Chains A and B, each alone.
Chain A
Amino acid sequence: MTEQITILLIVIPLIAAPITALFKQNFYAWMITLLVSICCGVISGYILLEVIDGKHLIYELGGWRPPWGIEYKIDSLNAFIAFIVSVIAIVTNIFAYRSVPTEISKQNIGLFYAAMQLCLLGLLGIALTGDIFNLFVFLEISSLSSYALISMGKKRQALTAAFSYLILGTIGATFFLIGVGFLFAASGSLNISDIANRFHTFEDMQLVVTAFIFIVLGLALKAAIFPLHSWLPNAYGFAPSTVSIFLSATATKVSIYALIRVLFDLYPVDYWQSLLFPQILLVLGCVGVIYGSFRAWQQIEIKRLLAFSSVAQIGYIIIGIALMSELGLTAAVIHLFNHAIIKATLFIGAGILIYRSNTTKLEDLRGFGASMPWTFAAITIAGLSLIGVPGTVGFVTKWYLLEAAIEQSKWIVVMAIVIGSVFAIAYIWKIVEALYFNSKRKIHIHNVKSGDIKVATASKSMGLALWLGAFSCIYFGLFTEFPFASAYAVAKGLLGL
């Protein structure tokens, strides 16, 4: 019975999306999307509880036995990722209700929500599937819908941002597909566990290395791992607020998940260790942390600042993976969860600021925090988590990362984390300073009809979404049992302990 439920995660949004596209009114389209995401949240939560103690759920699509048919193989990692994605979807949708009508033109609203659901579907699909080609299909579903979503941004730059994301994303997808093709040529199979089981029979072929490089490059592009991150700041910076929230919290995470799968389940660990791959990842992660944090500090616009900080945070996750230890992997997987919460909260905060003031420039937002103290407080809480202050989720991650790095005496990593945190203090302070300490100035509001009062009040639903996030930033920083147990189970599973 439980096995049958897994496919519902894909089927529900797949059926609901075209129906949603028919609606023109915000309320109905939004309602369907919210219901879909709640359904997905409940199902993935249920699945996570089922598999958290190391059990596997296997569902064979259409009753075809693997390796011929497609199989969905759920372990704690899949379930955890699916859970993160669908919970973020719920929170995003709570926020979306009031934000979407102000940012999306009226005739596109139905399509917008449909695209959101397709994106959700794609991300969930990546998380669930155990078939490498099927993974590619879902990767493309989510990417194509996110190109469309980003291009719906209000500013004209959104189109160029979406276009450059489209180009790079397609290159990434193509690389991935080429890699999968090579691997198929070598192994004759597309099922991840089947390939892994028979890996020694075709290990010596040159094709396998090539396939590895193509697949990893493709995924790294999608995951915006330094130095392949150039699409991300523009894409997140110019996307509609709702989209920034959803994508920043989920899209890159899911790509990283796919990377983890490839590294630990598809290819044997010894194989890519001999290619010096962990060292490469470690260096990229460290440089990414420092570079991303530094660039974030330089930004003058709140959403781009947050986007660059994402580049840095992805760096932390990569460092955790590259350390290859139980603690390191635990830190990486927890950070998938923690960073999703933190970034979603921050982007929701930015979204509220945009909703009220129609601008993202820090210069224009001077002194704005004083007139929205609660929003400002929530942003500060999330900002402190990003820095890694004890008592917040960010601290838990950084602590485990530090412990993992010190365990292996990798002092460069420790240095990178410290430098990254110092820059994080600097760029969070920049936001706080601009929003609160700088003297108030008149905010120029564009593109709003005169006499429109909606800019004067932040709506309750947005506040609810924001504080849900801010509250989780602290709650999961104190009561870490749930994310830790999940992440620890994942790390143990991946290392085969």
Chain B
Amino acid sequence: MELTYWLMLTIITPVAGALIISQLDKYPNIREAITLITAFSLFGINIWLYLQHDGATYGYTFAEPIEGLAISFVLNDFGLLFALIASGLWIATSIYAIGYMRAHHETHQTRFFTLFAVAIAGVMAVAYAENLFTLFIFYEFLTVSTYPLVTHAGTREAKRGGRIYILILMGSSILFFLPAMIIVWFTAGSLEFVKGGLLNGALDPVYVLPLLVLFLLGISKAGIMPLHKWLPSAMVAPTPVSALLHAVAVVKAGVFSIVKVVVFIFGTDFITESSANDWLIWVPAITILMASFIALTKDNLKERLAYSTISQLSYIVLGAMIANQLSIVGASMHIAMHAFAKIALFFAAGAILVTAHKKYVSELKGLGRQMPFTFVVFTIGTLSIIGLPFFGGMWSKWYLISGGLEFTGVQATYWMILITLSVSSMLNIFYLLSIPIQGFFAGEQKDVQIKEAPVACLIGMAIPTLMTLYLFFDPDIVYRLSLAVAG
């Protein structure tokens, strides 16, 4: 079978899965089995695409509403990286979710699993989008389809969170992203992703900075301040949603779009030449530091993780903004490394919520002795995020810092990059590592009844944790795909 058909299957499979799942309300076991089968086959398809990808172009056009503006998909390295991560972690999340949703006695589970599959279809479409137009449409699609997942609980609090979620994400994309896209169309006459940059040569360098700012504001899924508020609000969702969507799929769709725009719409050389990034780098840098400081003040565990995500996402944006080969490699590797580590952290937080019913960091003292597995997972995730050896997170930080050292713009910015990267690692120790340390060594839990989470949750947690270890020793896949992005 030609690869093009396999490429179509990446979207068809989760959609078909969603259709079947939606009809199985009465048979929860079969429903979950179908979820797993769908997840495994999707991952298999992506693996197959990776193995068979030989550099030739495989793609297809779904519809062409306006001449030159097509909804079309193409097999590409960066998309492959994103799709592999998302579909692989979907398996882990599904296993985890089965345990979590049942142990937590959530209602509307069929709706939950159905929409989850739909959201994954949206992620696949974002990953394999051939042009900015397709990317935009499915970026919006992802916002809309994940909205019911965020408000899953249906309480007033959930709705309030959902309101901020949809207002910020959709509002910013329509107000900034869409006009930016239209401007690109009218300057370049196309919206294709071009190696070396579509606008390179077509746009007056003076306008690079304002246009780039429009994109940064418009793609608020990347969580850049000041449009980051939606992410903490989205934490009202059930933990599997926070884990896969708000640590991996949705937020990564945001940074993925930013890297795509920087590399294929502007072109890294063009940005460096126009020195648009001289001062723009301060935006993600400040976001990294600010979000870390805010995380320190949050007692709610999931909110703390959300702010940690905001800070980590800005690493990727920072890498994109530095705009040299090493930093782009670092940025796209960080998409993968952060995904595995952060999802492990969220899973651990969910396991604590499900079994011990504890939401706040201050309540976790001594809990590590009752839930050692969960806290070990948490520790490994934390260490990987800090970027210590033996964990995958080290490599992405390595390349990010190397990229920062090669930055050739304004001196002040150069130092800002280096200071930010080192200070934020320190802050990570404070606000993340303190949690398992307290869990293991401080205080004593009164309630001795607490045990580990259901087995399904534990399996789900083990997968990404082992991946962070594995990726330290063999980051080759991630590195190769990232290098292809940087060109």
A-side residues, CB < 8 A to B, are 387, 389-391, 395-396, 399-400, 402-403, 406, 418, 421-422, 425, 429, 433, 436-437, 439, 477-480
Contact = CB atoms under 8 A, between A and B. Distances in A.
A261 B389 CA distance: 76
A418 B66 CA distance: 20
Given A390-B133, A406-B186, A425-B174, A478 B140 contact: no
B112 to A, nearest CB: 15
Given A390-B133, A390-B178, A425-B171, A478 B63 contact: yes
B63 A479 contact: yes
Contact of B140 (A391, A477, A479): A391
A479 B69 CA distance: 12
Which 4 pairs of residues, A with B, have the shortest CB-CB distance? Answer: A478-B63, A480-B65, A391-B137, A437-B163
User: Interface residue tally of chain B, by bracket?
Assistant: 20 to 34
A390 B159 contact: no
A390 B140 contact: yes
Contacts of B133: 390
Nearest to A418: B179
Which of A390, A406, A433 is most buried by chain B, counting CB atoms within 10 A of its CB?
A: A390
A436 B64 CA distance: 33
A425 B156 CA distance: 24
B163 A390 contact: no
Contacts of B65: 391, 395-396, 477-480
A389 B174 contact: yes
Interface string B330-352: 00000000000000000000000
Given A390-B136, A436-B159, 14 more contacts: A390-B137, A391-B65, A391-B71, A391-B137, A395-B65, A406-B186, A418-B179, A421-B174, A425-B174, A439-B156, A478-B63, A478-B65, A479-B65, A480-B66
Contacts of A429: 167
B20 interface: no
B175 A422 contact: yes
Nearest to B159: A437
11 contacts: A387-B174, A390-B140, A390-B178, A391-B71, A395-B65, A425-B171, A429-B167, A436-B159, A437-B162, A479-B63, A480-B66
Contacts, number: 45
A480 B68 CA distance: 13
B interface majority secondary structure? helix
Interface of B: 62-66, 69, 71, 133, 136-137, 140-141, 156, 159, 162-163, 167, 171, 174-175, 178-179, 182, 186
Contacts of B156: 439
Contacts of B179: 418
Which of B71, B136, B163 is most buried by chain A, counting CB atoms within 10 A of its CB?
A: B163
Nearest to A432: B166
Contact of A399 (B62, B66, B174, B175): B66
Contact of B66 (A387, A389, A400): A400
A387 B175 CA distance: 11
A418 B71 CA distance: 24
B299 to A, nearest CB: 27
Given A391-B140, A437-B159, A479-B63, A402 B174 contact: no
Nearest to B141: A391
B159 to A, nearest CB: 6
Nearest to A402: B182
Contacts of B62: 478
A389 B66 CA distance: 14
A389 to B, nearest CB: 7
Contacts of B137: 390-391
Nearest to A407: B186
A389 B71 contact: no
Contacts of A400: 66
A422 B159 CA distance: 24
A478 B63 CA distance: 6
A396 B65 CA distance: 7
Nearest to B64: A480
Contacts of B178: 390
A479 B141 CA distance: 18
A400 B159 CA distance: 37
Contacts of B171: 425
Contacts of B136: 390
